[in-house]
Amino acid sequence: MNTFSRRTLLGLGAATAAAITLPGCSAKSGPMRVAWYGPDPVTKAINKALDAWKAGGGAEYAGESAPFDDYWDKLATQTSGNNAPDVLRMSMSYFSDYAGRNALKDLGSAGIDTSALDKDVADSGLSDGKNFGIGQSSISYAMYVDEAAVKQAGGTVPEQGWTWDKFAEFARDYAGSVQGSYGSGDQAGNLQLFEVFARQHGTELFSDDGGKLATSKETVQEWFQYWADLRTAKAAPPQNVSAETTGIEKSLIAKGKAPLQFGWVQQVTFYQPLVKNPLAVLPVPQGTAGDLKGQFVKGLDLWCVSAASKHPEDAAKLIGFLLNDEQAIKAIGILLGVPPSQKARDLVAADAGSAGARAIKYVEDIAGQVGPSPKPWPKGYGELLTGFGRIAENIGFGKTTPAAGATEFVELAGKTLGQ
């Protein structure tokens, strides 16, 4: 076999090597990639907005969507492989992880038109004086109430808010008068509702620099104990029932087993189609009735461009389109949160009587009464979010006590923050 010359050999070898290594670290720059997370309605809405972008002569793109949990696993892998999508939806839960590790592009001079946006939302992506993302919505925590069900059970839910004590009383009464149901879903593992609770106790959840937990161990313990008491009173479901209520379709409110549900304000539009009565959107319980200082309104999701993007101009244009174009605004509605500009809110709220309109009205109503928005959630927030839920679950199953659980969370925060 001497038909191969050395040159052919070398050439062949090189070609083989290239063919094998290319797919791994592709230097391809095909169409711009757009990635987002969220349930099915969100994906449908964003696809519709992207259709409008293309119809209007926008650049080629490829969309990628995933449920919230999977999205972050995927994004972490893609980013470390230098293969992140160009335009990406970013949650405040992970923003600091990415912005702090230089994975996002500074959009300060990208020329995105943010003039119509509310100031606090437009600024929500600022970190170390750079703008790593543009707020796509503002949101606040809320409680959605099936008022018809409550009325039928002979109860009332005060519009102006109630204290946690009154809320517990209500939950016990409701569970007592409606067979087989609970006054509320178990929120012990809900760190985002706990943040409001912590602020009602006079401190932020995290220190300003994000280096440590600002709330006290006593407050964490009080929270875990509050829900443990509700479970004991059968006002909140036992832990094994809660373990089966993951997902919107399986939630207690969708199954008619509880008259209310907690969540970010825009999520009412996910639950509404599953509940036959209209859901009222109300503030969460307070320390002092009617004092909404614990709550806040904040830009919580952002559109970002990855630092390694090969299409930064198109990416910036697309973000501007999603925020300002009338068709995009209408397509997205309030699925990502309350739209960040007055023009957008007017467009969406035109459909009065919809859950979306009620969500917008809720945020407008409370905006003047809430406390200042907290700093962006710190690096490691995602780990604390799941850790808090896990500790609450251990308490619910009787594997640990509220006091020991509080200690465990404080220790976890000490280890995770400021890394």
Contact between 1 and other proteins by CB under 8 A: the answer reads yes
Give the whole-angstrom CA distance, residue 107 versus residue 314.
13
- One symbol per residue from 344 to 363: x for binding other proteins (CB under 8 A), - otherwise; what is it? --------------------
382 binds other proteins, rule: CB under 8 A: yes
Residue 82 interacts with other proteins (CB under 8 A)? no
Cα–Cα distance between 283 and 239 in angstroms, integer? Answer: 25
Nearest Cα neighbor of 377 from 98, 78, 130 is 98
Residue 198 CA, chain-centre distance (Å), reads 19
C-alpha 68/C-alpha 72 separation (Å) is 7
Q: Is 243 in the site for other proteins (CB under 8 A)?
A: yes
Asked if 159 is part of the footprint of other proteins (rule: CB under 8 A), the reply reads: no
Contact 156, 150 (CB under 8 A): yes
Span from 193-201, 316-324, 351-359, 386-394 in contact with other proteins (CB under 8 A): 386-394
Q: Is 26 in the site for other proteins (CB under 8 A)?
A: no
Indicate the angle between helix axes 312-324 and 40-55, nearest 10 degrees.
110
Which three-class secondary structure state does DSSP give residue 375?
Answer: coil
113 is written with which tokens? 């038109």
The reply on whether position 15 binds other proteins by CB under 8 A is no
Q: Is 36 in the site for other proteins (CB under 8 A)?
A: no
Q: Closest distance between other proteins and the C-beta of residue 201, in Å?
A: 27
The nearest distance, CB 188 to other proteins, in angstroms, is: 13
Question: Considering only CA atoms, which of 311, 309, 363, 301 is closest in space to residue 332?
Answer: 301
Q: Is residue 24 within the footprint of other proteins (CB under 8 A)?
A: yes
Residue in the block written with tokens 């104990």 = 225
Question: By CB under 8 A, is residue 2 in contact with other proteins?
Answer: yes
- Map the footprint of other proteins across residues 400-419, applying CB under 8 A: 416, 419
Indicate the residue type of 48: K
**Cα–Cα distance between 371 and 277 in angstroms, integer?**
31
Here's the x/- map for other proteins, 87-126, by CB under 8 A: it reads as ----------xx--xxx-----------------------
Residue 367 DSSP symbol: T
Which residue ranges make up the site for other proteins (CB under 8 A)?
1-2, 4, 9, 12-13, 16-17, 20-21, 24, 69-70, 72-73, 76-77, 79-80, 97-98, 101-103, 239-241, 243-244, 246, 380, 382-383, 386, 390, 393-394, 397, 399, 416, 419
